[in-house]
Structure 1
Amino acid sequence: MIIISKKDSLPVYGVGPYLIAPMFVVSIMGVILSYYNMIPVYKIDSLYWLFIGLAVVILLDAIFLWYAAVKISDISKNIENNKLVSDGVYALVRHPIYSAWLQISTALILFSQNLYLFIIPVIFWIILSIALAKTEEKWLIEKFGDDYVSYAKTTNRFIPFSRLR
């Protein structure tokens, strides 16, 4: 774990609120508009319980990721103390809080069962990947150098699974 001076600390929230709030609003709007048939809806009724079950599993994983990052790893304190955290949930995924919100969005879309909306989480993933590469990850590379680069090479950005090699 690397520690740098407190005056050079990264912002605790980063670009998160600017990325997550619109993502969440779009997901909720998609669900509501689908429910009231205000947008085209394509459902496969025979897959109802599969989508509901998958949504519940994804939602539970999102809760775990968020809790592990915020409460167990105490990421706010580590950011304020300029520590690069790469253990715990951060050994599974580099951005567990963003991953959690991406999963919440995906679960909401699955609950809607509107297949037309299934592209939305993919779009969010692309937007988050680009935005984080150009902001927070750039800052982390500037702060922690090769340590962050090595960590990034072995840990996925959002999907908490081992990299395929």
Structure 2
Amino acid sequence: MRRNEPGAKKATFAHDRVQRKNGGRRETMSRAKKHLSRLGVEPLYAPTVMLTSIIACYLDHQGVLPQLRIPGATWPLRAAGIALALFALALWARAALFSGIQTAITHNQLLTTGPFAIVRNPIYSAFMLEASAIVMLTGNVYLLILPPAYYLFLTLLIKHSEEKWLRRLHGEEFDAYCQRVNRCIPWFPRRGEEGR
């Protein structure tokens, strides 16, 4: 598109970069991006944890991984895995399909109701729980090292991306929300220290 064509100004504007001062730091932001990405860290996080769990299950089934199965605990662990998988699926469906998340992102609204009242990142948490449930189904106690790794990975991603953006946008409202609701682990809202 040439600059002197009618749509050229609009196309150029979308690619302009603006500098903005924020707390003594200079940040470069695209004028076209004034809200969070609709997918957030999901394209990185979800495939990573799900594929890790699936590969771990496959390797466990093939006998490649060391195995530790506690007599009498295998079936309760699998039952807990099934329950966790069902909860994760329900959490994901409620957050992704019925919470109005896409509208909230577009209009820069902070969602704090529905699934967002029990966990700040219900969609990501659902993937974390689902991936954890998959490894629980193997009954191999050694694979239970993966859920804490998934939690740590998600915490690092969220703290260094979306939380920074939301804190700048919503300020004290977001800080108060963080005090009440966990970042990754669904739980009842509370008062006090920052959520996990």
Which letter does structure 1 place at the counterpart of 2:67? V
Residue in structure 2 matching 1:140, options 143, 152, 166: 166
Which letter does structure 2 place at the counterpart of 1:40? P
Match of 1:73 in 2: 99
Match of 1:125 in 2: 151
Q: Mind listing any 5+ residue stretches in structure 2 that lack a counterpart? A: 1-31
Task: State TM-score, norm by structure 1.
Answer: 0.91
Residue in structure 2 matching 1:88, options 114, 119, 123: 114
CA distance, structure 2, for counterparts of residue 145 and residue 164 of structure 1: 18
Give 1:45 shift: 3.6
Match of 1:3 in 2: none
* Aligned residues between the structures: 160
Match of 1:114 in 2: 140
Q: Mind listing any 5+ residue stretches in structure 1 that lack a counterpart? A: 1-5
Q: Contact conserved, 2:78 with 2:138, CA < 8 A, in 1?
A: no
1 or 2 for the larger relative contact order (CA 8 Å, sep ≥6)?
Answer: 1
CA distance, structure 2, for counterparts of residue 130 and residue 7 of structure 1: 23
- Structure 1 pair 164/54, CA: closer, same or farther in 2 (3 Å)? farther
Displacement over 3 Å in runs of 4+: none
Residue in structure 2 matching 1:152, options 152, 167, 178: 178
CA distance, structure 1, for counterparts of residue 67 and residue 75 of structure 2: 17
Give 1:41 shift: 1.2
Give 1:147 shift: 0.8
Which letter does structure 2 place at the counterpart of 1:127? F
- Aligned CA RMSD, in angstroms, stands at 1.6
Which letter does structure 2 place at the counterpart of 1:19? Y
Q: Contact conserved, 2:110 with 2:170, CA < 8 A, in 1?
A: yes
Match of 1:24 in 2: 50
Match of 2:29 in 1: none
Question: Counting helix residues as a fraction of each chain, which structure ranks higher?
Answer: 1
- Structure 1 pair 42/164, CA: closer, same or farther in 2 (3 Å)? farther
- Structure 1 pair 164/78, CA: closer, same or farther in 2 (3 Å)? closer
Question: Counting strand residues as a fraction of each chain, which structure ranks higher?
Answer: 2
Percentage of pairs with the same residue: 31
SS of aligned partner of 2:40: coil
Give 1:90 shift: 0.4
Match of 1:97 in 2: 123
Q: Contact conserved, 2:180 with 2:191, CA < 8 A, in 1?
A: no
Residue in structure 1 matching 2:89, options 63, 74, 77: 63
Match of 1:12 in 2: 38
Give 1:7 shift: 5.4
